[in-house]
């Protein structure tokens, strides 16, 4: 089992470990018992993960003498709402959860974000443990403490920072992932290579087609992605500076995702957003054409889209970018690229150029 420490030096009580390996649930249970984070645990999951893995995880923990219960809600982005969060809170009170309890987020990004959100608020805050079951959650949303729910105005518009007590990444969960869901995680891994790590970028260009079938390679790539994410979080825990580069592809990506009414998955939307970001970078004379082509080629090799559905409203997309929660006043911030490994935040992209790129990507 590979162990990576997220070292939040300003407040050591917030530091935690990421554990990565194959079939590590037994060891996860041992660590829960050893660390004594709570007197009892409540697993929060969605209807899909409950069917696939919920009872197995529940019985595993109970079999180790850990007092554990489980709550589930309907799967999908449509459940990432205040109504669902309040429903989870109601179930927690029915189960008698108190400040000696902790939540276990068992699922993908929606489960992790919503569970962390509830944990940060329930009785002014109780511990949370992340057990991500999708590739996207394993390399991204389970690490860093961001939580959130969606509002009609935008994705993750209401949220908190709530660092988990630990993250347990079991590659065995990935065996049940549909190809589309696996591709969602690849989008974030591609992002890490493009913005931070030349070695990872080179490796993905050589091996992305064999990644899913090679467990040793997959563990190495996931570990590399987690190290990149944790390194950025350690420097900028609450996204005041450097951590903003992790939003590469997300400004237009989130807008397209919401405009599609979430018919596009998060990874597909981020892939589209990354394509838009490198096109903007090229048109603004920051990025060489050959580097833009390299990024777009890798997105395609990952089986991810690089085009916006032609029927989608350009005005709708632009309107949603103006509602982006990372904007400052009327200024919309884009993470652009000077070259692979050199991202920067630019708030001066002309709206007519954004419109031009969106229209170009619909053709």
Catalytic residue set:
124, 146, 188, 229, 239, 243, 247, 250, 254, 266
φ, ψ (nearest 5 deg) of residue 204: -65, -40
> What's the DSSP call for residue 143?
S
Look at residues 41, 35, 29 and name the one whose alpha carbon lies nearest to residue 1.
Answer: 29
Walk across the sheet containing 2-6 and list its strands: 2-6, 16-21, 166-170, 128-132, 101-107, 40-46, 68-73
DSSP 286-309: SS-HHHHHHHHHHHHHTT---S--
Kindly state the tokens that stand for 340: 């692979």
φ, ψ (nearest 5 deg) of residue 144: 110, -15
Kindly state the tokens that stand for 213: 């079938």
Pair 22, 215: CB distance under 8 Å? yes
Look at residues 248, 233, 95, 105 and name the one whose alpha carbon lies nearest to residue 166.
Answer: 105
For 267, 276, 324, 352, the CA distances from 358, given in Å and listed in that order, are 18, 7, 16, 10
């Amino acid at each position: 089992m590979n162990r990576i420490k997220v070292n939040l030096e300003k407040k050591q009580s917030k530091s935690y470990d990421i554990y990565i390996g194959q079939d590590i649930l037994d060891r996860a249970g041992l660590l829960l018992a050893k660390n004594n984070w709570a007197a009892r645990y409540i697993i929060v999951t969605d209807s899909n993960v409950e069917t696939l893995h919920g009872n197995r995880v529940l019985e595993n923990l109970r079999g180790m003498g850990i007092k554990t219960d489980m709550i589930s809600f309907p799967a999908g982005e449509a459940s990432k709402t205040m109504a669902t969060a309040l429903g989870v809170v109601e179930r927690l009170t029915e189960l008698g959860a108190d400040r000696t309890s902790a939540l276990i987020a068992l699922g993908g990004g929606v489960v992790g974000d919503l569970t962390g959100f509830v944990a940060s608020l329930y009785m002014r805050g109780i511990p949370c443990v992340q057990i991500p079951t999708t590739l996207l959650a394993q390399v991204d949303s389970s690490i860093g403490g961001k939580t959130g729910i969606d509002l009609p105005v935008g994705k993750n518009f209401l949220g908190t920072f709530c660092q988990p007590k630990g993250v347990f990444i079991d590659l065995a969960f990935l065996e049940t992932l549909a190809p589309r869901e696996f591709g969602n995680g690849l989008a974030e891994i591609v992002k890490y290579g493009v913005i931070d790590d030349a070695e990872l970028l080179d490796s993905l260009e050589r091996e992305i087609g064999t990644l899913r079938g090679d467990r040793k390679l997959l563990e190495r790539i996931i570990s590399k992605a987690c190290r990149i994410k944790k390194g950025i979080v350690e420097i900028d825990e609450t996204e005041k500076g450097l951590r903003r580069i992790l939003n590469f592809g997300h400004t237009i990506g989130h807008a397209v995702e919401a405009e599609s009414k979430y018919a596009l998955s998060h990874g597909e939307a981020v892939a589209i957003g990354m394509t838009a970001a490198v096109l903007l970078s090229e048109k603004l004379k920051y990025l060489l054409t050959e580097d833009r082509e390299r990024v777009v080629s890798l997105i395609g090799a990952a089986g991810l889209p690089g085009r916006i559905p032609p029927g989608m409203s350009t005005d709708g997309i632009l309107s949603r970018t103006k509602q982006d929660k990372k904007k400052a006043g009327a200024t919309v911030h884009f993470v652009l690229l000077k070259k692979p490994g050199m991202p920067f935040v630019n708030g001066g992209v002309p709206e007519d150029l954004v419109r031009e790129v969106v229209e170009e990507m619909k053709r």
